Amino acid sequence: MDKKTEKKITDALYGIQVASEWPSISDHRIFESINPPGYMIKMVLQHLYGKRLPRGGDKSEWALPILYCEKIFTIEDFKRFKWNIYGKQNDKMLAKKLANKVISATKIFNNQIKKIAKESFDNDDFSLQNNYYKARNIFEFFSEQVKVLLAKKSKPKLKEDPSFVDILSTEIERRRLLEFYTIATSVFFFSLTETIFDSIFALSDRKETKYSEFRKLDWDERFKLLIPLDNKVKKLYDELIIIRKFYRNIPVHSSPEYFFSYKDFGLIPSNFEVFSDPHMKTTLEFSVDESKRIIDCFDKFLVLLKNHPATVYGNLYAEYDLPIFISKTPIDKLRKHMVSIEVFEKELEIRSGYQDALDNMDV
């Protein structure tokens, strides 16, 4: 950190000192916040203290006694993210002023962090949040809805001898819901593959491709970069590209079809064949078989990712919900365990257990 930034932080903390003694254990929590998060408060207080902060109480990584306006407070984190100020009940307003001064210092610190983060990003020296289970859970929810509707018969409820109109109305509703759930399934399927592709890329031979360059590639280009297109994979790839276009891209971006005026015929498309495309069909015409084909295709691809030599390690890495390393040093250490699936999974188990212990403040 440059001296100019250090001075700004020191000035922001004017009037705040580290107390020479800890306050009474009977103090109350008179302020709490998660914005900014506890680790930012820790940075500021460590700057004030000049060394590593003392250990806090249960589920707390750090705590520090503070002297402000001749009153003693304790600032302490809770599970590294939330932070609290403890003091006397009648000092709540003063605690708020103390918090505001500390928060203003974190904003100065944050500007410095942004510069460091940009340098790290430019040098591929960072990790990614792993969103595998967030996307997977939503995908599986909608996928299950599709499968339930596919198995459901079009018989109206509570009617022993339904009329043709009853049957037709029930079938129209089933297809309407099928279309909605199939599109939602498609959206979150491709969201899920984004995380898996990142994980595969992290462990793969990147061929001097930076992560920012990788992410700028279209989904189909990333697919081909990560997975060799043999005959079996190529067939699946071709199906996914069509599904992505009609059941993900067009609905998500509300992509319009273009029509132009033709004398004596009104508005017509540039090509009559577009009327056969899924997004041009009405709900009644929506194919039940198409939904089944899409779900089957997704299931096949997820199985392929679990078993293909080019993707098996990356897919497994994503499933363990650990941060996805892009930085060279930690990813090289992880790659050393890729001698077999058993060895690699054992290492992931160890890391996952340690991460749980960190999250639960057990270490």
Query: What does the pLDDT look like over 334-363, one tens digit per residue?
Result: 999 999 999 999 999 999 999 998 888 887
Are residues 150 and 288 in contact, defined by beta-carbon separation less than 8 angstroms?
A: yes
**What's the mean pLDDT in 68-84?**
94
**Sign of torsion over alpha carbons 181, 259, 240, 196:** negative
Under the banding of pLDDT at 50, 70 and 90, the label for residue 126 is very high
**What's the mean pLDDT in 23-38?**
90
Count the Cβ atoms, other than its own, within 10 Å of residue 313: 22
Q: Which of 64-68, 84-88, 113-117, 267-271 has the lowest mean pLDDT?
A: 267-271
355-356-358-363 Cα dihedral, nearest 10 degrees: -110
pLDDT for 148 equals 92
Q: Which of 152-166, 227-241, 280-294 has the lowest mean pLDDT?
A: 152-166
For residues 222-244, b (16+ Cβ closer than 10 Å) or e, as one string?
Answer: bbebbbeeeeebeebeebbeebb
pLDDT for 86 equals 95
Rounded CA separation 88/302 (Å): 57
Q: Which of 62-76, 271-285, 309-323 has the lowest mean pLDDT?
A: 271-285
308-313-314-318 Cα dihedral, nearest 10 degrees: 120
Q: 146-172: per-residue pLDDT in tens?
A: 999 998 765 555 556 677 777 777 777
Q: Which residues, other chains included, contact 112 with Cβ-Cβ below 8 Å and sequence gap of 6+?
A: 1, 5
pLDDT for 174 equals 82
pLDDT for 250 equals 77
**What's the mean pLDDT in 272-291?**
64
Nearest to 18 by CA among 51, 52, 66, 55: 66
**What's the mean pLDDT in 314-333?**
95
pLDDT for 26 equals 75
Which three-class secondary structure state does DSSP give residue 75?
Answer: strand
User: Which comes out higher in pLDDT, residue 67 or 4?
Assistant: 67
Rounded CA separation 214/222 (Å): 7
Q: What residue segments make up the domains of the chain, in order of their start?
A: 3-122, 127-359
pLDDT for 318 equals 97
Rounded CA separation 144/147 (Å): 5
